[in-house]
């Protein structure tokens, strides 16, 4: 079954909310999560799509997170299984909305031709508090993490034009065992399994920043990871 590029989304950082709002979920914040669909060919560069941008450059963007991808199937889950009708395509801030490619079937290092570009899976997305703020669902980042429906990032090996409706052609799959789902399971385990973490850290095509994070956990023997700041942030 072909993996399809259903939609392309881009957008520049936007400031929304009221800085004086009594409810933290309504307060002013700035993010690049707000994307709009693009019609026609879009240039995919080494660090981003043409017309796209990120606000928090410490945690988003750059060559290892040049393109964020999310699956049509996950949106169906949020809407049909959990009843969040407001969570619709583009809502997670993705650049590529993909069909027939999910966290269970996409692996680290998977290399695809899409249009003129060649992209390679680099890491899962680490869910933060911003989708929760956008959709007014305080626990959403935690739900994203616990369901494993995180989406994933591509690095760009070859720049070029892409267009919605095109198929992803698999060129190489060097690490079929390291699905995004498996990576999430290991990284977000309530009690860290150091043997699994060591094995994952040895995956040469996993983004260097994430490999370094994992190696620090191993070195410090951090068995339980504090996720409160990441998943709730200023929403509390």
Does the structure show a pLDDT above 70 at 70? yes
Q: Using 50, 70 and 90 to split pLDDT, how confident is the model at 148? A: very high
Spatial contact of 149 and 72, defined as CB atoms under 8 Å apart: no
pLDDT of residue 58: 66
CA–CA separation, 172 vs 3, rounded Å? 15
pLDDT of residue 59: 62
Q: Give residue-wise pLDDT tens across range 172-197.
A: 999 999 999 999 999 999 999 999 99
Spatial contact of 120 and 109, defined as CB atoms under 8 Å apart: yes
What average pLDDT score do residues 23-36 get? 94
pLDDT of residue 53: 87
Q: Give residue-wise pLDDT tens across range 73-96.
A: 999 999 998 899 999 999 999 999
Structural domain boundaries in the chain: 3-235
What average pLDDT score do residues 45-69 get? 87
pLDDT of residue 49: 97
Does the structure show a pLDDT above 70 at 52? yes
pLDDT of residue 207: 98
Q: Which residues, other chains included, contact 64 with Cβ-Cβ below 8 Å and sequence gap of 6+? A: 122, 123, 153, 155, 207, 208, 209
What is the full DSSP assignment across 11-37?
---EEES-TT-SSGGGS-EEES---EE
Q: Domain 3-235 belongs to what topology?
A: M1 Pyruvate Kinase; Domain 3 (2.40.33)
């Amino acid at each position: 079954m072909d993996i399809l590029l259903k939609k392309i989304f881009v957008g520049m950082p936007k400031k929304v909310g009221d800085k004086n709002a009594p409810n933290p979920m309504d307060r002013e914040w700035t993010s690049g999560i707000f994307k709009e669909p693009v019609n026609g060919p879009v240039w995919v560069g080494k660090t981003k799509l043409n017309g796209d941008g990120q606000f928090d450059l410490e945690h988003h963007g750059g060559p290892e997170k040049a393109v964020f991808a999310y699956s049509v199937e996950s949106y169906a889950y949020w809407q049909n299984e959990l009843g969040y009708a407001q969570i619709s395509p583009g809502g997670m801030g993705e650049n590529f909305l993909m069909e027939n490619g999910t966290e269970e079937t996409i692996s680290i290092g998977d290399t695809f031709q899409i249009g003129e570009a060649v992209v390679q899976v680099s890491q899962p997305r680490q869910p933060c508090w911003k989708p929760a703020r956008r959709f007014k669902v305080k626990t959403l980042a935690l739900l994203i993490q616990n369901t494993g429906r995180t989406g994933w990032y591509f690095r760009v090996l070859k720049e070029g034009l892409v267009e919605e409706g095109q198929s992803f052609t698999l060129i190489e799959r060097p690490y079929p065992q390291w699905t995004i789902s498996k990576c999430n399971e290991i990284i977000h385990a309530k009690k860290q399994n150091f043997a699994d973490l060591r094995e994952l850290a040895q995956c040469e095509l996993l983004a260097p920043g994430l490999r370094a994070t994992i190696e620090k956990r191993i070195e410090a023997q951090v068995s339980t990871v504090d996720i409160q700041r990441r998943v709730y942030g200023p929403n509390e």
